[in-house]
A and B are shown apart, each in its own frame.
Chain A
Amino acid sequence: MHEFSYEAPTTVDQAVKLLSADGDSARIICGGTDLLIQMRNAVRKPRLLVDVKAIPEMRQISFDPKTGLKLGAAVPCIEIHENQTMRKYYPGLTEAAHLIGSLQIQSRASIGGNLCNSSPAADTSPALLALGAVAKIAGPNGTREVPVEKFFTGPGQNVLQKGEIVVQILIAAPAPHSADRYIRMIPRNEMDIAIVGAGACVTLDGDKVTAARIGLGAVAPTPILAPKAAEYLIGKKLDEKTAERAGELAREAASPIDDMRGTAEYRRHVVGVLTRRALLGAAERARQN
């Protein structure tokens, strides 16, 4: 590995200054579960690493039933999994965080890192898309908020400008009778990377769907929403049949490729299967809320 400097600021302002000062060769490090591999493989050669784990507001989970969730971007996935509020109100996002790598990896990896690494296959991204999450970004010109569906610009690419940091992830408090679910297809049972990931969030009024969002991973250059599939469900009863149809519509949103993890035809097929299962799973939870 090449030589680099390391800083661990304790405020967002300091972090922004450090990042802004060092041209394009500074990188944020949180858990390092993606970045260190990229550095070892010489894919990235940052001269400065800015560690954000010492910034208190980036390490906190705060929830208010009115204003919703402020999830620190640097909170390790394992803390999300162990957090009772997260489990109760955002079970889908929580299970996504708990699928990343192994327990050891989850102790390092963060949702902010998963978001900013911007892999099309990131497990938490479809869950965030389904929840309508918003990234709160701090930068040299102040703060801005970007919905997750507008965050990604390509494989490994996003809207972050020089000096900018995702500080928190903001998610509205769940509506009554709503819930989320995330599932993925991997050839093994653990320790794997999604061939397809599907997140769904549904709100029910009695039997009828009043709101739905579906996020998909690993089937396009970025994690994507499947809006037609979600719109189709509005006003309908969510059952095997309608979920199947929504799955078919979700397939149309996907533009998968062949790679070493799976074929495009297989991925397209599995989008339908997982969308159906995620929707039914979310509805099952929503009925209990």
Chain B
Amino acid sequence: MDTPQTHQFKVIGTRPVRHDGLDKVIGRAKYGADYSFPGMLYGKVLRSPYAHARIKSINAEKALRLPGVKAVVTHDDFAPQTTAPVYRMGGEAAVNPLYLASNILAKDKVLYAGQGVAAVAATSPHIAEEALGLIEVEYEPLPIVLDVLDAMKPGAPIINTTIRRKERPDEETNIAGEFQFKRGDIEAGFKSADIIVEREFRTEMVHQGYIEPPNALGIFSGDGHATVYTSTQGPFDVRIMSATLLGLPEGSVKVVPAEIGGGFGAKLTVHIEPVALLLSKHAGGRPVKMVMTRTEMMRGATGPTSGSVLRVRMGATRDGKIVAAKCWFAYEAGAFPGSPVWLGCFTGLSPYNIDNFLVDGYDVLVNKPKTSSYRAPGATNAAFAVECVVDELAQRCGMDPLDFRIKNASREGTPSVMGPKFPRIGCVEVCEALKRSAHYQTPLAQVPGKYRGRGVAIGFWINGGMQSSAIVNVHADGTASLVTGSVDIGGSRASTAMVVAEVLGLRAEDVRPAVADTDSIGYTDGTGGSRVAFATGLAAYQAANDVVRQLKERAAKIWEISPEDVDWIDGKAVSKRNGVAPLTLKDLAPRLTRTGGPVTGRANVYATGVGPSFAGCLVDLEIDPDTAKVQVLRCTVVQDVGKAIHPSYVEGQMQGGTVQGLGWALNEEYVYDEKGNLRNASFLDYRMPTCLDLPMIDPVMVEVANPGHPLGVRGVGEVSIVPPPAAVANAVSAAVGTRITDLPISPPRLYRILAARHG
């Protein structure tokens, strides 16, 4: 049978140079901050010094008198907003516009330090900054709550007084959402267990750490239209959200996506785009450019991801079958509802086929920034807890940790945590590939004077489908262009162009991919959920086949036969009837003019058939017993990638996610003082790993074709971040002989554990 795994592709699976590579390497690619227009103003945001306070008054008179200042705006300058949801991501994500507007520019109360309060547009960034100091804001400080468990207690300072739990409609609460998944009989399950492990874990808030701070250049035209240039993952998301906040019809806002310097989920929403437009509106339509500082970005105007408290109890029989699991997850939402806790609840147990489980999740408000998406949002926290407990269970059963996982692994037909059965998935294949890897086959050598340990963990991510559009234009010189609405954040221009090249019988270099603005391409959901190579790739595949259909018609015309009598085989039109030589696209392209005019293929898809992903991570590390500093010695990541269109960029995603997971495990954390000020709002003190901290991350691709995609593609962008924190914690636990439950495993934390153990 011809499957994506056995088919001999000419382009797919090769490693051509990416189309956008040269411009990026030499600095010619245009990122958001590179745009400028004549008469442009510069916008800056005044941010709250308090983590929780009532805004009693805002007086901008002095700021407006400063020469060069052209506009000052506050929340009240947005169109009036309600809590009625606005839908995006094909209806899958609801946005509360009142919360969205209030997060960007506070209404009545500030809920975290760093929240926007007012914004200024001026003729230079320095004047705008000076003007911020002239805006007089009178605050009435309120009690704050930073810890997720404290926030859940009765009597905690209440962040949003309108929120209620369903069963307690009279009580104010910080619990903004509750989620539950269950199956079987949890009590009976634990009764049948021979071994039970129960632990409580903690993780801290972490930032995506993208290099490029959020930016926007807004032009509010006098004719009721508006344009935004911005580095975003979701141009159509920016369109609907900006239009809503400004009270404009969706179609009158055009979003032009710039190149993007990383996003990892945080740039799927608006941060300052509506402010740039609002300032432009109040400054007579002059273009207003805004670029956040690193400090603004880190303090949370852009949304890190949740810290969490995670309680996991799991039971297994002596022979290593997991029979019951009970999870209790509380995630920090930040100042507004919407942590990814439900995704943690859904994904945490997904690698395993467990008959009896109960998962409870809580979305908890605290006086910290509103959280945003971060690569497989919610999954890493949950997997950290579950995979540490699974590791301990395997150990207590006396089983190899991978054999234990394979024995309990989800397979095709296993019901997922949400209920529907898994299609063909690669959980077992990932574990087996890890077992077979040279890394796993080589025992870790101990050295005197150091603690060394090896740890393994696996992870699951659902991946996304949703809507994409693609247009393929055939040029007279026998090349083609591909236009999509998907911002290229991980090599997707190359992979979608390769799909078109494969279908049309062209070289990858002969298909020029472009990312269009929101007026120039059909609706396309954001670059997130690992969906672009899958869904936009599907649209590109269908658009290329639409070109094939038309080229067959043209060939039929030339051959004076019926289009039904033309096949398209290996990139060529072939006549079924007579022995004429086949026609390639290059043969047909110059003849389009005289056979009916230009050929454009198009496709608009709502991609279903999403293939979920599994990844596994194996880590060797060494600990200096004196300083408690952890050094990762070796790291292998295995991932089921479905079908790797461009293997280099797939491997890059696997390595990138792994590095972020290692950083999360070892040193990354938001450190707050007692007043709710972030103490480490810089890349100096927010310690992401540098290349000097890491070994080569060895990627091993496993290709289990996704039956829901004609080329077998699965999303590959996210799942690799899920297992590393647990793998690192398991390795440290193995090295020091004490179970690690709190992230990050920074030297001061690990020192405390070692010191306590030595007494």
Interface residues of A (CB under 8 A from B): 1-3, 40-41, 185, 187-193, 195, 259-263, 265-266, 269-270, 273
Closest-by-CB residue of A relative to B755 is: A269
B626 adjacent to A273 (CB under 8 Å)? yes
- Alpha-carbon distance A189/B629, docked complex (angstroms): 10
Complex interface residues of chain B between 30 and 64 (CB less than 8 A to chain A): none
Q: Which of A40, A41, A185, A189 contacts B747 (CB 8 A)?
A: A185
Q: Which residue of chain A is the closest to B747 with respect to CB atoms? A: A187
Task: Please choose the segment from B241-249, B526-534, B636-644, B680-688 that sits at the chain A interface, where 4 or more of its residues have CB less than 8 A away.
Answer: B680-688
Contact of B679 with A259 in the complex, beta carbons under 8 Å: yes
- Chain B residues with CB below 8 A from A192, complex form: 684, 687
**Interface residue? B570 (CB, 8 A):** no
Do A188 and B687 contact each other (CB < 8 Å), given the known contacts A2-B130, A273-B626?
yes
Once the chains bind, are B748 and A263 in contact (CB under 8 Å)?
Answer: yes
Q: Which residues of chain A have C-beta atoms less than 8 A from B629's C-beta?
A: 185, 187
Q: Please, how many angstroms separate the alpha-carbon atoms of A149 and B102 in the complex?
A: 52
Compute how far the CA of A189 lies from the CA of B746 in the bound complex, rounded to whole angstroms: 13
Residues of chain A within 8 A (CB-CB) of B123 are none
Residues of A within 8 A of B747 (CB): 185, 187, 195, 262, 266
B751 at the interface (CB under 8 A from A): yes
By a beta-carbon cutoff of 8 Å, the part of chain B in contact with chain A is: 126, 129-130, 293, 295, 626-629, 631, 666-667, 671, 679-680, 684-685, 687, 689-690, 692-693, 746-748, 751-752, 755
Contact A41 B126 (CB under 8 A): no
The answer to whether A265 and B690 touch (CB under 8 A), given A187-B629, A188-B667, is: no
A263 smallest CB distance to B (angstroms) = 5
Are the CB atoms of A260 and B680 closer together than 8 Å? yes
A98 to chain B, nearest CB (A): 14
22 chain-A/chain-B pairs, Cβ below 8 angstroms = A2-B126, A3-B126, A40-B293, A41-B295, A185-B627, A185-B747, A187-B629, A187-B747, A188-B693, A192-B684, A192-B687, A193-B684, A195-B747, A195-B748, A259-B679, A260-B679, A263-B748, A265-B752, A266-B628, A266-B747, A269-B751, A273-B626
Contacts of A188 on B, CB cut-off 8 Å?
Answer: 667, 687, 689-690, 692-693
A189 CB contacts on chain B under 8 angstroms: 631, 690, 692-693
| Smallest CB-CB A-B distances: 9 pairs | A266-B748, A260-B679, A260-B671, A273-B626, A189-B692, A260-B680, A190-B692, A263-B748, A187-B667
Which A residues are in CB contact (< 8 Å) with B293? 40
User: CA A41 – CA B298 in complex, angstroms?
Assistant: 14
B685 and A266 contacting across the interface, CB-CB below 8 Å: no
CA of A190 to CA of B688 in the docked complex: distance in angstroms?
A: 11
Query: Mostly helix, strand, loop or mixed at chain A's interface?
Result: loop
Once bound together, how far apart are the Cα atoms of A273 and B679, in whole Å? Answer: 27
Task: Give bound CA distance, A187 to B687, whole Å.
Answer: 8
CB-defined contacts of A193 to chain B, threshold 8 Å: 684-685
Q: Which residues does chain B contribute within 8 Å of A260, judged by CB atoms?
A: 671, 679-680, 685
Q: Please measure, in the bound complex, the distance between the C-alpha atom of A2 and the C-alpha atom of B124, giving whole angstroms.
A: 11
A269 vs B671: C-alpha distance in the bound complex, in angstroms? Answer: 22
How many Å lie between the Cα of A99 and that of B130 in the bound state? Answer: 36
Q: How many residue pairs bridge A and B at CB < 8 Å? A: 63
Residues of A within 8 A of B631 (CB): 189
> Min CB distance, A106 to chain B, in Å?
15
In the assembled complex, the CB of A166 is this many whole angstroms from the nearest CB of chain B, namely 25
Contacts of A41 in B (CB 8 A): 295
Closest to A247 in B: B626
Point out the residues of chain B lying under 8 angstroms from A187, CB to CB.
629, 666-667, 687, 746-747
Question: Are B687's CB and A1's CB within 8 A?
Answer: no
**From residue A216, how far is it (CB to closest CB) to chain B in Å?**
15
Looking at the assembled complex, report how far the CB atom of B650 sits from the nearest CB atom of chain A, in whole angstroms: 28
Q: A193-B685, A260-B679, A263-B748 are in contact. Are A1 and B626 (CB under 8 A)?
A: no
A260 to B: closest C-beta gap in Å = 4
> Which residues of chain A come closer than 8 Å to B752, judged between CB atoms?
263, 265-266
Beyond the given A187-B746, A188-B690, A266-B747, could you list 18 further A-B residue pairs with CB under 8 A, ordered by the A residue number?
A1-B126, A1-B129, A3-B126, A185-B627, A185-B629, A185-B747, A187-B629, A187-B687, A188-B667, A188-B689, A189-B631, A189-B690, A189-B692, A190-B693, A260-B679, A265-B751, A266-B748, A270-B627
- What residues of chain B lie closer than 8 Å to A266, measured between beta carbons? 628, 747-748, 751-752
Contact assessment for B295 and A191 in the assembled complex, using a CB-CB cutoff below 8 Å: no
Nearest CB in chain A to that of B132: its residue = A42
Which residues of chain B are near A190, meaning CB under 8 Å?
690, 692-693
Cβ contacts under 8 Å, B626 to chain A:
270, 273
A1, A2, A195, A260, most chain B CB atoms within 10 A: A260
Q: Which residues of A contact B627 (CB under 8 A)?
A: 185, 270, 273
**Nearest residue in A to B679 (C-beta to C-beta)?**
A260
CB atoms of B130 and A262 under 8 A apart: no
Complex Cα distance A191/B627, Å?
A: 18
Give Cα A193–Cα B628 distance, bound, in whole angstroms. Answer: 17
CB distance from A2 to the nearest CB of B (A): 7
Smallest CB–CB gap between B722 and chain A, Å?
23
| Minimal beta-carbon separation of A259 from chain B (angstroms) | 7
Cβ-closest chain B residue relative to A269 = B751
Q: Nearest-CB distance from A178 to chain B (Å)?
A: 26
Residues in chain B near residue A263, CB distance under 8 A: 748, 752
Q: Is the CB of A261 within 8 A of B685?
A: yes
Residues of A within 8 A of B130 (CB): 2
Shortest C-beta distance, B741 to chain A (Å), equals 18
Q: For the complex, give the distance between the alpha carbons of A193 and B692 in Å.
A: 15
Nearest Cβ on chain B to A278's Cβ, whole angstroms: 13
Q: Which residue of B lies closest to A191 (CB)?
A: B690
Q: Whose C-beta in chain A lies nearest to the C-beta of B680?
A: A260
Residues of A within 8 A of B666 (CB): 187
Residues of A within 8 A of B690 (CB): 188-191
Beta-carbon nearest neighbor of B685 in chain A: A260
Q: Residue of A at shortest CB range from B295?
A: A41
B577: min CB distance to chain A, Å: 69
Taken together as a complex, chains A and B put the C-alpha atoms of A189 and B126 apart, in Å, by 36
CA distance A259 to B680 in the complex (A): 10
Query: Which B residues are in CB contact (< 8 Å) with A2?
Result: 126, 130
Measured CA separation A105–B130 after assembly (Å)? 28
Across-interface contacts of B667 in A (CB, < 8 A): 187-188
Distance in angstroms between the alpha carbons of A214 and B126 in the assembled complex: 45
Q: How far is the CA of A260 from the CA of B681 in the complex (A)?
A: 10
User: Bound state CA distance, A61 and B674, in angstroms?
Assistant: 47
B634 to chain A, nearest CB (A): 16
Residues on A with beta carbons closer than 8 Å to the beta carbon of B755: 265, 269
Least CB distance from A150 to B in Å reads 29
The one of A1, A191, A262 in contact with B748, judged by C-beta atoms closer than 8 angstroms, is A262
Q: How far is the CA of A266 from the CA of B684 in the complex (A)?
A: 20
Could you say which residues of chain A place their CB within 8 Å of the CB of B693? 188-190
CB distance from A275 to the nearest CB of B (A): 11
A265 to B126, CA, bound (A): 43
CB distance from B399 to the nearest CB of A (A): 34
Tell me, rounded to whole Å, the shortest Cβ–Cβ distance linking A85 to chain B. Answer: 28
- Chain B residue at minimum C-beta to C-beta distance from A37: B682
A193 to B126, CA, bound (A): 29
